[in-house]
Structure 1
Amino acid sequence: MPERPTVDLDPLSTGERERRPVRPFVVEDVVRVPLDETLRAVAVALRARDVSFAVVGEGDDIDGVISERDLVAAIAFGHDLDATTARDIESHSLNWASAAAAVGDVAEEMLETNVRHILVCHDDGTLAGVVSMRDLLAALVI
């Protein structure tokens, strides 16, 4: 078997990677859906952007969030995708982190709360974006 080449993409140690701020790994262009959006429309919006998480609310207001896990649960429970709205299934349990928070701390929060996405805020408390488990994996590996 041929030996695999190794490439050192990042000279940082694992500890240094964990201490980096989460800011560079935040996705700013978050999918947003209104409260009265049907679950089918939410699923279409997620699929169109190839993401698995949306913020629910009007304008800058954040009422809750919907993940693909929430959509799967709604389907499993027999909800009508054209009659059930985002308001009906959204989660109000919002997990937030500061953009300056350390990658390792945000990853630990995800593990402790069993979530795959965390909302990230600017210093003034407004939404900066979202960071996913995949984003943090990239932060820890490269």
Structure 2
Amino acid sequence: MTSIPAAGSIVIADITGDAVVRIPTGASVLAAAEALVAHDVGVVVVGDEVRPVALISERDIVRAVAAARDLATTPATEVASSNLVWCAPDTTVEQAALRMADKHIRHLLVGDEGAVSAIVSARDLLGVYASEAVRADFD
């Protein structure tokens, strides 16, 4: 029988793979929303530099809409989070989940030395734990 690792011990690099979606530093909130829709993601990186300037999520955009901001003229950086939280590719799912819970965030940048290689979401982690629960039902 093949040994399947417990969900919490799987490393983040094994569950990420989609390309990181970026918008330029000067992009508007509207451009960020269009990128989210075009790429079917929940968050985009703001900035073309190796180290991102900020991260803008669906939630940030909803807040801008609720505040009646002009999405076409408001820079994404005005509503995006610049307090970026990172993990290394070899971080375990459990460690990432604990970090996200501790910081009350839904997205975690993955990378080394400030270069983003992936983004892991709470939904990604939930999928890993849900898969383990399904396997347990069949054991």
TM range (shorter): 0.7 to 0.9
Q: Give the alignment partner of residue 35 of structure 1, picking from 16, 25, 34.
A: 25
Q: Which runs of 4+ in 1 moved over 6 A?
A: none
SS of equivalent residue, structure 1 residue 137: helix
Q: Distance in 1 between matches of 2:114 and 2:27?
A: 26
User: Relative to total residues, which structure has the larger helix share, 1 or 2?
Assistant: 2
1:56 aligns to 2:67 (yes or no):
no
Q: CA deviation at 1:59?
A: 3.3
CA distance in structure 1 between the aligned counterparts of 2:46 and 2:126, rounded to whole angstroms: 26
Q: In the alignment, which residue of structure 1 is the partner of 2:115?
A: 126
State the Cα RMSD in Å: 1.7
Whether 1:137 and 2:132 are equivalent positions in the alignment is no
5+ residue gaps, structure 2: 132-139
- The structure 1 residue matched to 2:7, chosen from 1, 17, 21, is 17
TM-score, normalization: structure 2? 0.85
Distance 1:119 1:127 in 2: 6
* Residue 66 of structure 1: how far off its partner (Å): 0.5
The amino acid that maps onto 1:55 is V
State the partner residue of 1:6: none
> Runs of 5+ in structure 1 lacking a partner?
1-9
In structure 2, the residue matched to 1:101 is: 91
The 8 Å contact of residues 56 and 62 in structure 1, kept in 2 or not, is answered as yes
Between structure 1 and structure 2, the one with the greater Rg is: 1
What is aligned with 1:3? none
Pair 1:75-2:35 in alignment: no
Count of residue pairs the alignment pairs up: 130
Instruction: Report how far residue 11 of structure 1 moved.
Output: 5.9
Deviation at 1:38, TM superposition (A): 1.2
Q: Verify the 8 A CA contact 1:34 1:86 in the aligned structure 2.
A: no
State how far apart, in whole Å, the 1-side matches of 2:57 and 2:96 are.
Answer: 18
